[in-house]
Amino acid sequence: MRHARLFAAVLLLVVATGAMPGCSSESANPFADLTPVRAPTDAADLIFTSDSWAARSGPREIFAVQDDGGGLSRLTFCNTDQRRCDSAEVSAAPDRLRVMVRRVGTDTNGDGRLTSADGEAVLFVDLTRGTEAPLVPASMHVSGIDWSPVDGVVVYSALTEGGHEDCFRMDPNGQNNGNLFGTPTIDERRPKIDPLGRSFLYERIDTTGKGRIFLFLDSARLLAVTSGGPGEDRLAGTPYMVGSDADPDFSPDGTSAVFRRLTGTGNNGLGSWDVMTVRLDGRDLRTIASGPEYRGAPDWGPIGIVFQEVDLAAGASRLVVVQPDGTGRRVPVTLGSSFSLSFPRWLR
């Protein structure tokens, strides 16, 4: 189960059975009194970010948990009386002791909140020592980050001077940082490296505004994996229109991909998203989770596919695990819908 795959990821939170009825932004918080821990234990299966450390929703910290909901631990403590930071996403090194964090650290627009509008940086964090180092400045508005499972390579997506997003690669110390695309009118974002560290999947949003999943083999070989779904309405405040495909990840054997597809613009601006799988040659497209709920970026690990699900009708934010064929749904954690359970990833 501890394969040397790239990303960072470890399930969520607390109860193996899932639901905690009545848990909301006003209720008692099950995560507020966790004992400080720096690195995930050997038993941890998932890593994610959440604002559930506080009594009310707010800036996010990094957590780890076993896939049955046990062994919850909080890994970072950057929010104090003197400081606020929002850790949006985390990707772990193969050794599980070091991570790359996409973080907002300063309220640059003065609106009293830490959001992506303030700019998101990349920081290297050594969890065993509690030390960190900035690698990519917040002014680049980083939108995705991934650490290769087999070597010292990190990929990320960020804004360029032309106002579009490109994918970049760098060493874990921030050296040898370079743009892999440089396309002036196309957005390339949210890269994920394959299990052997030789290629990556990413979102490609061209001038039509619809997102599709592409496979990067090298600069001369960019292969379309999906063609997107029906729909043209735009989702306000995001780069997506209905029918866009987003947030790809590889299957553990590297032959297929999981991603999410925008199917509607409801849910207070979050949108409705299906989770789907497809072979890298575009065949065998399947929907494994569907319905009116918001579903976040999926991650495919050795014991299932994990993603965040927000059900506003039920007032719930959940961490959901399903099998690659969509069966075996289980919910290790449920919180009030005002809380965030963001970007869960398996620790491989």
Please report, for the chain, the start and end positions of each structural domain, with discontinuous segments joined by +.
46-346
Question: What single letter denotes the amino acid at residue 285?
Answer: L
Whole-angstrom distance, CA of residue 223 vs CA of residue 340: 34
SS3 of the chain: helix, strand, coil, percent, to 5: 5, 40, 55
Question: Mean pLDDT in the chain?
Answer: 87
Residue with tokens 């790239």: 6
Instruction: Give 335's DSSP letter.
Output: E
Token pair for residue 343?
A: 């970007």
| Residue 6 pLDDT greater than 50, yes or no | no
Question: What single letter denotes the amino acid at residue 143?
Answer: S
Whole-angstrom distance, CA of residue 103 vs CA of residue 86: 6
Question: What single letter denotes the amino acid at residue 137?
Answer: P
Alpha helix stretches (DSSP H) within 37-193: none
Q: What is the pTM of this model?
A: 0.88
Q: Cβ neighbours of residue 134 under 8 Å, at least 6 residues apart? A: 121, 122, 123, 124
Q: pLDDT digits over 173-194, tens only?
A: 999 999 999 888 999 999 999 9
- Beta bridge partners, 103, equal 87, 121
Distances (CA, A) of 261 to 1, 132, 215, 243, 276: 28, 35, 17, 6, 7
CATH placement of domain 46-346: 2.120.10.30
Model confidence at 29, pLDDT cuts 50, 70, 90, reads low
- DSSP states of 183-244 as a string? -SS-EEEEEEE-TTSS-EEEEEE-TT--EEEEEEEETTEEEE-----S---B-TTSS-BTT-
Give me the pLDDT at residue 263, please. 97
Model confidence at 262, pLDDT cuts 50, 70, 90, reads very high
